[in-house]
Amino acid sequence: MKLKIAILLIGLLSLTSIAETGRTAVFLRMPIGWKQTAMGGCGVVVGGEANSGWFNPAALQMFEGWGGSSGYSQLALDRWFYYISAAGNLRDEAAVALTWVHADAGDIDGRDISGNHTGMLDYGEEAIFMTFSKVVTREFTIGGNAKYVQTKLHEIISYMAGFDLGAHLRLMQGQVLVGASYSNIAMEHQWDSKGLYGSSSGTTTDEPIAGYTRAGAAYSPRELPSTITAEIGLRDGGDAEFRLGLLVEPIENGEVAIGLDDGMFTAGLGYRYDAGFAKFGLGYSFRTEREGLPPRHSFDLIIGTD
């Protein structure tokens, strides 16, 4: 059984990209939404989506009307990543959203030291969080997330809860946007293997989740329907990550984006159809991976009212 768990941990590490191996709860920093993914993972400033709270809870205030989005991503090494988000704007004074994010790997083939098959192992992580943003002044918004995270390593399950905080600023009548957020406040895994090994052999271990800071800015010229944004991300005790994105609207309701996510190329496109009573949208994004792994492909469905 101990060998099974060791093999399972290898599967856990493979869920994230090779360059991120060994870092806990990396999925909490992975981008969701075709637009943010295609713009190099930038989302702390460019809000307006139902899932904006994942990057910066204060940026959710830019969301108009009521609606939601759902996305699905296929990654290398038989990994999967998907989300569902619903949001609403409250009289242009506040906004709320509820989001569920799930990451997992395909069946992991458990084998003993001789290579004999011992069974299939499973692994998954998921987060459920409530976002609330509030207008302080016409230009300044604050927001927060309350979130619950669960991780399952075959027969061991860890639960934890925590918070995120964010701020968002509009300058030059909205042409310039500035935002910042800090995530994973007071969060740590609590692993308990006593149920697996027994009270005499099992142990209880606390594993803190590193805080993550995002800060960035965006500019939208009046002459062109486009936005350019840059962002920096910093994990507590880790190296800085740099992101850059460009979003262009070549046709009405159609958008194209490209970016760099800490050196990885990203691109995507989306289109929304106005049916009068609601808008329906589709989005696709592409993100390269390190170590020569196949790229990430993501697909999104969007619905909303103004």
Count of beta carbons in the 10 Å neighbourhood of residue 180:
20
pLDDT at 305: 87
pLDDT at 106: 63
pLDDT at 107: 64
pTM: 0.83
CATH number at residue 262: 2.40.160.60
pLDDT tens for residues 27-69? 888 899 999 999 999 999 998 899 999 999 999 999 999 999 9
Distance CA 281, CA 89 (A): 19
State which residues form the domain around 18. 2-304
pLDDT at 132: 97
pLDDT tens for residues 227-269? 999 999 999 888 899 999 999 999 999 999 999 999 999 999 9
Annotate 17-78 with DSSP letters as a single string: -GGGTT-TTGGGGS--SHHHHHTTT--SS---STTGGGT-GGGGGG--SEEEEEEEEEETTT
Distance CA 72, CA 289 (A): 17
Domain count, the chain: 1
pLDDT at 202: 56
- The radius of gyration of the chain's CA atoms, rounded to the nearest angstrom, is 20
Residue given tokens 């930038």 in the structure block: 42
The vertex-250 CA angle with 244 and 254, nearest 5°, equals 90
Report residues of the chain scoring pLDDT below 50.
Answer: 1-22
Distance of CA 305 to the CA centre of its chain: 24
